[in-house]
Amino acid sequence: MSNFITKEFPPVSAAAWKQKIQADLKGADYNETLLTKTNEGITIKPFYHSDDFEKLIIPLSEEDFKICQKIVISSEDESNSKAVDATKKGANAVKFIAKKPFNSALLFKNLLGKKIEFHFEFEFLSEIFIDELNELLKNETVFYNIDIIGKLARTGNWHKSLNDDFKTLEAIIRKNPSSFIIGVNADIYQNAGANTVQQVAYALAVANEYLTRFGAEIANKIQFNFAVGNNYFFEISKIRAFKYVYNLILKEYDTSSNAQIYAEPSLRNKTIFDYNVNMLRTTTESMSAILGGANTISNCAYDSLFHDSNDFGDRIARNQLLILKEESYFKHGQQIATNSYYIESITKQIAEKALDIFKDIEKKGGFLTQLKEGIVQRKIKENAQKEQAQFDAGELVLLGTNKYPNEEDKMKNELQLNPFVARNPRKTLIIPIIPVRLAEKLEQKRLKNEA
């Protein structure tokens, strides 16, 4: 390759660039004028340079990402039909959401032996049922995604009790040592308003609870679930930062891992008014997940907040991922983010700050202790309130909602589902962590004022 350009234009140091910028500011303070501080306390600079570049060793996957279709099990026949149809139309992974035990033979009819990746979200905990399911799926790639700590965080209660739940989980792991039994559902924290640093720190802290109880042998058998927001470069960096710090923690256990990441778009920034904009949001969020290094990505339909699941919405969501993968050359997209000065800088800052929070959590008794004391909930609520104030003031923009809204848009008669936080007072052991969308209050006001 010709070196004409490098000979004609010699490199300029970071110090020289900064000196030139300061001269052009004509006396204005560089730090106050051009450095931006985020809610996480991360500093964004006006330029990044090789002089300051520090490359982090982040494990990457050699395989392309999987496209996952989420299906809530209503009836086994109907859910099976949806899964078969989705896999024929481009999905190569399926996530079943189960509220109760189901007929496994019916659900998996015509699905086995086709290199489909299976994921689960169980709202119950049953050793006997998992044993039966694992026997049926013993030759498949399966992620059971059991997160009893996440269940406590989300609902405020254990399935039975701390001791019973951990004993059941231990028995399941012991019988299935080579399976991905455990999940760490960090999406709970993002959808409730935690910032990127908190999400990474809490995912680490939950994983450490499981590692402490079950040992280093499970380090490579945990799946981490992240919700991806709309801060494009920060969300890329969030996943990369987690992969990096997870291995820092695993050094203490004399092991390492290329963390398995399942990602899906955040619900926090989705809206019911001007709902087609949700497609733009989920597209960029899926891009962030790909570039960050997610192994499996599930998209959400643009109308999933207020419409029952429907073929059109599911097809659009799935096709967004197919277009990114096959037509936009994102098939091995995680390689693209490597060696980006800006992304590496943000990744490093997220990692350092998350590690500080993690160390503080461990020093004060661990994640479960802080959850029981309400400290995790309070920290998330503080950040959520800060974001809400920014949204209410128009500083945090959701296009079509608090910026350029279509006042003629009417939604009252379109709501098939309740898109707002359901208030169901019940007795809980701890304060549950509840997902809240930024646009909820504004949307409720608009709905109330509809003619």
List pLDDT tens digits, range 226-243. Answer: 999 999 999 999 999 999
pLDDT in tens, 256-314: 999 999 999 999 999 999 999 999 999 999 999 999 999 999 999 999 999 999 999 99
Looking at residues 207-216, what average pLDDT do you find? 97
What percent of the chain clears pLDDT 90, i.e. is strictly above it? 89
Is residue 50 pLDDT above 70, yes or no?
yes
Residue 75 is classified by DSSP as S
> What pLDDT was estimated at residue 426?
83
| Residues contacting residue 223 through CB under 8 Å, at least 6 positions apart | 119, 143, 145, 180, 182, 183, 184, 260, 261, 262
**Span 15-24, mean pLDDT?**
91
Rounded mean pLDDT of 138-166? 97
- 227 strand-pairing partners: 264
pLDDT at 4: 58
Q: If pLDDT is split at 50, 70 and 90, which confidence band does 451 have?
A: low
Q: Please say if the pLDDT value at position 120 is more than 80.
A: yes
Higher pLDDT: 210 or 329? It is: 210
In the predicted structure, residue 98 carries a pLDDT above the cut 90? yes
Position 5 scores a pLDDT of: 56
Nearest-5° Cα angle at 202, 253 to 173 = 50
Q: Quick one: 205 exposed, middle or buried, by C-beta within 10 A (0-12, 13-18, 19+)?
A: buried
Mean pLDDT of 98-120: 97
Residue 6: pLDDT band (50, 70, 90) is: low
Per DSSP, 295 falls in state: S
pLDDT at 334: 80
What is the pTM (predicted TM-score) of this model?
Answer: 0.95
Tell me the C-alpha distance between 362 and 367, whole Å: 7
Please give the average per-residue pLDDT across 153-172, as a whole number.
Answer: 97
What's the whole-number mean pLDDT along residues 24-44? Answer: 93
List all residues 6 or more positions away from 401 whose beta carbon is below 8 Å from its beta carbon. Answer: 271, 273, 274, 439, 442, 443
pLDDT at position 443: 96
User: Which pLDDT value is given to residue 229?
Assistant: 97
The whole-number pLDDT of residue 7 equals: 65
| Mean pLDDT computed over 354-360 | 98
Q: Which residue segments constitute the domains of the chain, with CATH numbers given?
A: 66-347 (3.20.20.240)
Per cent of the chain over pLDDT 70 is 98
Residue 14 predicted with pLDDT over 70: yes
Residue 27 scores a pLDDT above 90: no
Does pLDDT of 140 surpass 70? yes
Report helix, strand and coil shares of the chain as percent, to nearest 5.
Answer: 50, 10, 40
300: its two tokens: 């959400």
Tell whether the model's pLDDT for residue 450 goes beyond 70. Answer: yes
Q: What is the mean pLDDT of the chain?
A: 95
Q: State yes or no: pLDDT of 3 exceeds 80.
A: no
- Residue 219 sits at the vertex; the CA angle it makes with 266 and 295, to the nearest 5 degrees, is 40
Mean pLDDT of 419-436: 90
Strand partners, 117: 93, 141
User: Which pLDDT score is estimated for 336?
Assistant: 87
Rounded to an integer, what distance in angstroms lies between the CA atom of residue 48 and that of residue 23? Answer: 18
pLDDT at 423 over 80: no
